[in-house]
Structure 1
Amino acid sequence: MYTVSQDCTFTKLRSDSTLRVLFSGSLRLKCKNACCQRWYFTFNGAECTGPLPIESIIYLDQGSPELNSTINIHRTSSVEGLCEGVKSGLVDVAVWVGTCADYPRGDASTGWNSVSRIIIEELPK
């Protein structure tokens, strides 16, 4: 399951420039058993491939089975990186939450009880 957490539109002026993006805010993952979630950026609906995807993961080994409880930690985190090859014009920039390969999905949330920011900067060559 993939869900968009935050998104905004940015006007990119040059085709040969690089976008620097940053998400800063509260990320949370909760589960009783081992789980993993991935927060990542998309540009006009596609992940960055040049030079690499822009992502961050949270993995939890397990909750506390003897207490029948779950780990539920909210942490201020950031996801940051550079993306090349995005054409000029309006760019839909979004932060998504998805699953990690080969790991069970947990209960993820973004931006609980805090300010979240997406910062987008166009870097000329």
Structure 2
Amino acid sequence: MNIRWIGNIRNIKTGGRPCSRWHIAFNGSECGNPARIDASIYSSLEGLDIHRPSILEGICYGLSTGIVNVQLYVGDCRNPAYRHGDSYTSWESVSRMIIEEIPLA
């Protein structure tokens, strides 16, 4: 499956070492074949409020047949030294998710 999410994201530093991570999951699990589909933002300047246009895109193989639920999540970065920041997804804009089945060769 080929997946593309388009929208804006932001993470504001409100103290500490904030980092937020956006990722796409299939039936509640991240892709492992060939890799995760994710993006992270670390904010180093206090109160900097920039909403960045962003694209998360990737391919995931080996999904089960039938209905597949595709979800966009935001949460903590993978490194536990960084805590979750004040995150927004698609503030004052339209988001799009494009999903394409890829036939097996």
Whether TM exceeds 0.5 here: the answer is yes
Q: In 1, distance between residues paired with 2:67 and 2:83?
A: 35
1:80 and 2:57 are equivalent in the alignment: yes
Deviation at 1:61, TM superposition (A): 1.4
Counterparts in 2 of 1:16-95, with a 5 A limit?
Answer: 19-33=1-15, 34-63=17-46, 70-95=47-72
Return the letter of the residue paired with 1:26: N
Return the letter of the residue paired with 1:116: S
Q: TM-score, normalised by structure 2?
A: 0.91
Quote the sequence identity (%): 42
Q: TM-score, normalised by structure 1?
A: 0.77
Q: What is the RMSD computed on CA atoms of the aligned residues? A: 1.0
Q: In 2, distance between residues paired with 1:108 and 1:36?
A: 9
Deviation at 1:75, TM superposition (A): 1.1
> Which residue matches 2:102?
123
Task: Tell me the alpha carbon deviations over residues 32-65 of structure 1, each in whole angstroms, 9 at most, x when there is no partner.
Answer: 33311000010000110111010011111131xx
* Structure 1 unmatched runs, 5+: 1-18, 64-69
Structure 1 or 2: larger strand share? 1
* Structure 2 unmatched runs, 5+: none
Residue of 76, 85, 91 corresponding to 1:106? 85
Q: Is the 8 A contact 1:40 1:55 kept in 2?
A: yes
Return the letter of the residue paired with 2:53: T
Task: Tell me the alpha carbon deviations over residues 44-103 of structure 1, each in whole angstroms, 9 at most, x when there is no partner.
Answer: 00110111010011111131xxxxxx1111111011101011011111000100111220
Q: Is the 8 A contact 2:2 2:60 kept in 1?
A: yes
Return the letter of the residue paired with 1:79: L
Q: Is the 8 A contact 1:32 1:62 kept in 2?
A: no
Deviation at 1:119, TM superposition (A): 0.6
